[in-house]
Amino acid sequence: MNFFRLLRKATQPGDRWLMALSALLLIGYAGFGAGQRGTLVTIHRDNQPLNRLALAEDSSLLVAGRLGSVTVEVKGGRARLLEYDSPRMIGTRTGWIEKAGEIAVCVPCGILIQIQGEEANPTSSKLNSHGLDGIAR
């Protein structure tokens, strides 16, 4: 109660407009960032792009990491990283990722997967056709 009285006393109309406007913009920004679903998951090894998988179809891919093999699993529009030989399993414990920009990383394996949004990759099908997936599947 006291807090709101102080707030009213401390602010002028200009302050209140700024507060309302910035709060609205922030809520919009946070909501927009949270709403974007991805279409692809890209796989990187040692910061080099290695392969991509479409999120639309369920699949899994075995990737050679520095500590042994790592599985990237895609199911129901989400992706996850399954490690077997990583000391802390951080990438696996990240769980399923699905929003554009989200990542799961296994640092000791040198493997990073990231979800890509709508506009990101016109070349995805081309890369997919000569990527590793034919061998690994």
Partner 1 sequence: MNRAPRPDLLIAYLAAAAVAAHILEAAIPAPGPWFKIGLANMFTLVAFFHLGWSAAALVSLMRVMAGSLLLGTFLSPTFFLSLSGAIGAVLVMGLVPLLPFRVGPVGVSILASLTHMVCQVVVAWWLIIGHDGIFLALPWFLIGSWFTGLLNGLLAYLILTRLAAHQSMNLQW
Binding residues for partner 1, rule: CB under 8 A, are: 6-7, 10-15, 17-19, 22-23, 26, 29-30, 33, 99, 101-103, 114
Identity of the residue, 50 or 133, whose beta carbon is nearer to partner 1 in the bound complex: 50
CB of 44 vs partner 1, minimal distance in Å: 10
Identity of the residue, 74 or 104, whose beta carbon is nearer to partner 1 in the bound complex: 104
Dist CA 137 CA 73 (whole Å): 12
Identity of the residue, 114 or 133, whose beta carbon is nearer to partner 1 in the bound complex: 114
Residue whose C-alpha is closest to residue 40's, from 55, 58, 57, 50: 55
Any idea which residue has 């990438």 for tokens?
A: 91
In degrees and rounded to multiples of 5, residue 49 shows phi and psi of: -60, 135
Amino acid making up residue 98: E
CB of 130 vs partner 1, minimal distance in Å: 25
CB of 14 vs partner 1, minimal distance in Å: 4
In degrees and rounded to multiples of 5, residue 90 shows phi and psi of: -65, -40
